[in-house]
Amino acid sequence: MPEHTPGPWRIVRSLDRLNPNDVGIACDGIQTVLAECYAEFHARGDIRPAEALANARLIAVAPELLAACQRATPWLGKMIADGGHLAAVLPQDAVRSLEMLEAAIAKATGKE
């Protein structure tokens, strides 16, 4: 499976001139939009551009979140294995956090 487009990613104006509330995600050095977040029309007929922007922010930080998860996972696993968790943190919370990190990394890297 090919790796994702390297970050950093950034938010850009949408290429869709019909809806200026849409936003896109692009990568430095690449002249194309990687993804677009559409300002959805909701039941009452209102447009929510803030939702599109919030979604774009989350997508744009995805490469950084993946890198942080990949960096923290071995450290957390070693901490659990060594029994070095803080007394204030229940061991099962640390184990569950590690499981969540590993699952997110698997999804992001196509190894699920």
- Amino acid letter, residue 82: D
Q: What residue type is assigned to position 89 of the chain?
A: V
pLDDT, tens digit (0-9, with 9 covering 90-100), for 26-63: 887 666 788 888 776 666 666 677 888 888 888 989 99
Total domains in the chain come to 2
pLDDT of residue 108: 87
| Same domain for 42 and 72 | no
This prediction's pTM: 0.74
Task: Give me the domain span that covers residue 79.
Answer: 64-109
In the listed set 23, 38, 60, which residue is the last one of a domain according to the structure? Answer: 60
Torsions phi, psi for 47 (to 5 deg): -100, 135
My answer on whether 88 and 101 are in the same domain is yes
Residue 25 covered by a domain: yes
Same-domain check for residues 79 and 48: no
Are residues 43 and 75 both part of a single domain? no
| pLDDT, tens only, 60-99 | 899 999 999 999 999 888 887 777 655 555 666 788 888 9
Number of H helices, E strands in the chain: 3, 3
User: Quick one: pLDDT band at residue 1, thresholds 50, 70, 90?
Assistant: very low
Residues 6+ apart with CB under 8 A from 8: 27, 28, 60, 63, 64
Residues 55, 32 share a domain: yes
